[in-house]
Amino acid sequence: MRRALVGAVVLGLAAAGCEQDETQPNFEYAPDMVSSVPYDSFAPNPNTPDGKTLLGPAKGTVPRGHLPLHLAAGPEEAARAGRELKNPYPSSPEVLARGETAFQRYCSPCHGAGGLGDGLVTARFPMPPSLLGARAKALPDGQVFHIITHGQGLMPAHGSQVAPEDRWKVVHYLRTLQDPARTARKDVP
Ligand code: HEC
């Protein structure tokens, strides 16, 4: 008798379950798992100093692999770069190959494939100077790096397009354009 009663109750409950209005959300057993209790990453947060949940990096931190360049644009800063910066990459066939790729990609449209200042744009753009001239040859490596980074006069800045290590490799490649004997010499730093 008791069994029959329990069976009837279970059946009744099951039937009631089927009658549920499907347009309404189900009963939530553990609402904490649905709506998170902690602050969301981008939500405002009254407990942090800057009112944001996602804290920014501490002041002065530098991302790995990124060297900050404390040089502004302009000729004085370019000259300072020439005095203070040294090419951190020793020349090697791989470095020169990469420098050549970057040079042909980013510099040759104006300066020409051989650096003579006869790139394709010269039909419409004022002729860039030859990079094989006495002035460009005498520019220290750091100054060329600065010119690529920040531009000079009519030349636009290329810092956002050419990665820092590629800029140094372009400098190595440029030296071989200026003095082809350098490619063959092993004593060149
Ligand atoms: C949009 C054209 C253009 C591109 C691209 C360009 N340059 Fe220039 N570059 C110029 C012009 C124009 C000048 C002369 C700037 C001035 O002094 O008015 C110049 C000047 C220079 C100078 C100084 C030469 C001197 O005698 O003062 C160097 C070095 C140089 N460029 C290297 C590069 C390198 C390396 C790249 C590639 C990463 C590059 N340029 C890309 C147009 C360009």
Mutate to test the pocket of ligand 1, among 107, 155, 177 (most ligand atoms within 8 A of CB): 155
103 belongs to a structural domain: yes
Residue 39 within a domain: no
- Of 8-17, 121-130, 132-141, the range with the highest mean pLDDT is 132-141
How many angstroms separate the alpha carbon of residue 131 from the centre of ligand 1? 8
Q: What is the mean pLDDT of residues 23-48?
A: 84
Residue type, 22: E
Atom 2 of ligand 1, residue of closest alpha carbon: 110
Work out the angle at residue 97's Cα, subtended by the Cα atoms of residues 93 and 103, and round it to the nearest 5 degrees: 140
What mean pLDDT comes out for the span 94-104? 97
What's the burial of 122, exposed, middle or buried (CB within 10 Å: 0-12/13-18/19+)?
middle
Establish if 51 belongs to a structural domain.
no
- Residue 115 is assigned to a structural domain of this protein: yes
Ligand 1 atom closest to 131 (CA): 24
The Å distance, Cα 187 to ligand 1 centre, comes to 28
Residues with CB under 6 A from ligand 1: 106-107, 109-111, 121, 128-129, 131, 135-136, 139, 144, 147-148, 152-156, 158, 162, 170, 174
Give the ligand 1 atom nearest the CA of 162.
Answer: 38
- CB–CB of 178/135 below 8 Å? no
CATH number for 105: 1.10.760.10
Q: Is residue 173 part of a domain?
A: yes
Selection from 3, 172, 12 nearest residue 98 by Cα:
172
Residue 30 located in a structural domain: no
In a domain, residue 113? The reply is yes
Count of domains observed in the chain: 1
| pLDDT mean over 92-104 | 96
Two tokens, residue 121: 């744009």
Establish if 35 belongs to a structural domain.
Answer: no
79, 142 contact by CB (below 8 A): no
CA atoms of 92 and 174, how far apart (whole Å): 14
* 1 has pLDDT over 70: no
Global pTM reads: 0.74
What is the residue type of 60? Answer: G
Structural domain that includes position 114? 75-85+99-184
